Amino acid sequence: MGSLKLENIRKSFGKVEVLKGIDLEVEDGEFVIFVGPSGCGKSTLLRVIAGLEDATEGQVLIDGVEVSAVPPAKRGIAMVFQSYALYPHLNVRDNMGLGLKQAGSPRAEIRQRVDTASKMLGLDDYLTRRPAELSGGQRQRVAIGRAIVRNPKLFLFDEPLSNLDAALRVNTRLEIAKLHRDLKATMIYVTHDQVEAMTLADRIVILNQGRVEQIGSPMELYNHPGNLFVAGFIGSPRMNFIEAGRLGESGKGTIGIRPEHITIDPSSGEWQGKVLHVEHLGADTILYLESEKAGLLTVRLFGEHKFAPDDILHATPRREHMFRFDEAGKART
């Protein structure tokens, strides 16, 4: 199988420290996603695991074996890039089987493994086509298939859906989720899209400026964010933050309330405000409400609502869903 352990991983480029002491354990068969803003170090960390970058300090252990000095091809990993990295002159079958061919695997074994992966990914009708004859989603499936045939200990995905349009992202996301269930393989996945992270991961690792902010299941991070950064990063639309003093609470700090945990009434409520903008999304309506007491609020309402800019409305938070953070931004228990 493919367990992973990272111990105090640090990586510097010259004087710039990109990874600042990362510790992580991934169990066999887990789907773990690294997520964070651009420049947080998530892709660099994935490349350190793959052996494409050398850690400045720390250890990488795969199945309990320290592999920092082991070249990428011998780590038992397979990596799927956002750019597909397919050979344009080879057809789908040959692209998927090339790694095994280069490793000297028998032809019969290569054919059997490619056929198995092709069936799993719905590529049987495309095996004789070249990459130029495929859509973006089909190319990405070929890249995933190339990884599957290697039967790796770890699958590493570096923002594999970022080049796809919205509909293809959803479809390919479903395919990756099914693939994980079918293979029961260990997968490490990098994305900047928190929706991908929330819908695919067993556990999410939230990175910020080269450090781990919090690790947990999607709903643990949604319901119990450890600090302001995590609270603001997980959830869409973003959590509302209000200075505690504005709401009459003693002590310095911040109150957090998610847009979906605010109710709206035209005539009465805790925070009166004026509608600045309305986003009609069909299933949801997003209101941007400027209130004197709480400041600018984002409110998410289920279904279609006929509110319009300049309407005066009253917002009331569901207090059981309020979060409180201290002056340093840490969640209060």
Tokens of 75: 């780590």
195 strand-pairing partners: none
Report helix, strand and coil shares of the chain as percent, to nearest 5. Answer: 30, 35, 35
| Tens digits of residue pLDDT in 260-317 | 999 999 999 999 999 999 999 999 999 999 999 999 999 999 999 999 999 999 999 9
From CA 317, how far away is CA 261, in angstroms rounded? 6
Domain extents in the chain: 4-231, 238-325
pLDDT of residue 121: 86
Superfamily covering domain 4-231: P-loop containing nucleotide triphosphate hydrolases (3.40.50.300)
**Assigned architecture for domain 238-325:** Beta Barrel (2.40)
Q: Which residues of 289-304 are buried (b: 16+ CB within 10 A; e: fewer)?
A: bebeebeebbbbbeee
pLDDT of residue 120: 86
Helices then strands (H, E): number in the chain? 8, 18
CA dist list (Å): 82 to 30, 86, 88, 144, 189: 21, 11, 16, 11, 11
Cα-only R_g, the chain: 24
pLDDT of residue 253: 94
Strand arrangement, sheet containing 16-26: 16-26, 4-13, 57-62, 65-66
96: nearest Cα among 135, 73, 126: 126
The residues, any chain, with a CB within 8 Å of residue 42's CB and separated by 6 or more, are 34, 35, 36, 190, 192, 207
- The ranges of the chain with pLDDT < 70 are 1
pLDDT of residue 1: 65
Whether 4-231 shares its CATH topology with 238-325 is answered no
